């Protein structure tokens, strides 16, 4: 696994990865369609609209209609990507995703920007903090969030070439670039960034960089760390979690409510295995507010300092 040396200097929003990758995929496969909910500028589908207008549909501000249209396209062999904000793509569309996409197991991808606290100043109404948790409870649904620009592009490519309903979550704000462009990813298989014996950290999405920096600080203090990028929270890489349970202590980190997200998924495995301890770092079961993204992360303890402190307290 090769990490870029420019992580501190280079930042890109993962919604940019969607905008770039979907154009590439659409040119390669004419069955790929984008179903827009009238916010293509924010969701970065503008270039797709320009270059591939015959593979694009804008349903207007009508998320539920968009889900139904995508389901219809999927029945004809198309591969639709429904593009909207995460708070709408998960909650307003939930019934249609359940009944019209997951129940018949159709090949629809829900591709959503503005995940977690990254909408920042847009306020709590636009910050999707429960989206992955809601959708991971739907049978047949796969739930994915890449940690940076390059991992997100690779996972979108995998999603386009893998059958089934999928939820892809992107950041509004720019996040550090961690990986090199040639890094490979497999849906449902965690990426191990560090291998250690004292404590395990399992992170997802925009928190992976924070966990990586925390792991470096812990190692400087003589604490050996296993670090996983759990980009797919459903299906969860159970084998990787069990290996972390062998270490004994696990810290999970996510930009999502600590209820029913990555932390809960890891806790479920720990409970079923009957061993190990898990501490969850994430949104503390509270709505966000209008504030800069970094400030909201700090309010919820989703920081390098808190990861380091929590890990040391567990030891």
Summarize pLDDT for 191-235 with one digit per residue, the tens. 999 999 999 999 999 999 999 999 999 999 999 999 999 999 999
Cα separations in angstroms, 140 against 77, 89, 233, 265, 304: 18, 17, 13, 16, 34
Against a cut of 0.85, is the pTM above it? yes
What burial letters (b/e) apply to 125-139, b meaning 16+ CB within 10 Å? Answer: ebbbbbbbbbbbebe
- Residues 142-163 pLDDT 10s: 999 999 999 999 999 999 999 9
Please report the pLDDT score of residue 7 as a whole number. Answer: 45
Please report the pLDDT score of residue 38 as a whole number. Answer: 87
Please report the pLDDT score of residue 3 as a whole number. Answer: 54
5 compared with 146, residue with greater pLDDT: 146
Q: Is 63 a catalytic residue?
A: yes
Please report the pLDDT score of residue 122 as a whole number. Answer: 86
Indicate whether 49 pLDDT > 50.
Answer: yes
If pLDDT is split at 50, 70 and 90, which confidence band does 9 have? low
Indicate whether 245 pLDDT > 60.
Answer: yes
If pLDDT is split at 50, 70 and 90, which confidence band does 6 have? very low
CA dihedral 188, 173, 227, 141 (to 10 degrees): -20
Task: Return the number of other C-beta atoms located less than 10 Å from residue 239's C-beta.
Answer: 10
What burial letters (b/e) apply to 149-173, b meaning 16+ CB within 10 Å? Answer: bbbbbbbbbbbbeeebbbbbbbbbb
Catalytic, out of 21, 63, 100, 130: 63
């Amino acid at each position: 696994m090769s990490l870029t040396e420019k992580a501190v200097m280079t930042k890109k929003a993962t919604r940019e990865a969607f905008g770039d990758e979907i154009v590439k995929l659409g040119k390669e496969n004419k069955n790929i369609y984008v179903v827009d909910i009238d916010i293509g500028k924010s969701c970065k589908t503008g270039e797709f609209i320009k270059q591939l207008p015959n593979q694009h549909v804008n349903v207007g501000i009508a998320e539920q209609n968009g889900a139904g249209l995508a389901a219809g396209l999927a029945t004809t062999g198309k591969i639709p990507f429904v593009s909207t904000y995460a708070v709408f793509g998960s909650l307003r569309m939930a019934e249609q995703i359940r009944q019209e996409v997951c129940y018949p197991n159709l090949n629809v991808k829900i591709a959503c920007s503005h995940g977690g606290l990254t909408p920042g100043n847009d306020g709590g109404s636009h910050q999707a903090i429960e989206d992955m948790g809601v959708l991971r409870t739907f049978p047949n649904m796969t739930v994915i969030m890449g940690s940076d620009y390059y991992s997100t592009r690779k996972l979108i490519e995998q999603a386009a070439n893998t059958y089934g309903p999928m939820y892809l979550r992107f950041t509004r704000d720019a996040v550090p670039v961690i990986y090199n462009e040639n890094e490979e990813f497999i849906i449902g298989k965690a990426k191990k960034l560090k291998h250690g014996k004292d404590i395990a950290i399992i992170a997802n999405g925009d928190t992976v960089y924070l966990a990586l920096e925390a792991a470096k600080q812990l190692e400087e203090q003589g604490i050996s760390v296993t670090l996983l990028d759990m980009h797919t929270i459903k299906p969860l890489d159970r084998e990787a979690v069990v290996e972390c349970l062998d270490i004994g202590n696990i810290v999970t980190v996510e930009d999502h409510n600590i209820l029913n997200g990555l932390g809960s998924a890891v806790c479920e495995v720990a409970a079923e295995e009957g061993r190990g301890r898990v501490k969850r770092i994430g949104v503390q079961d509270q709505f966000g507010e209008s504030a800069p993204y970094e400030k909201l992360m700090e309010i919820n303890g989703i920081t390098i300092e808190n990861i380091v402190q929590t890990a040391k307290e567990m030891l």
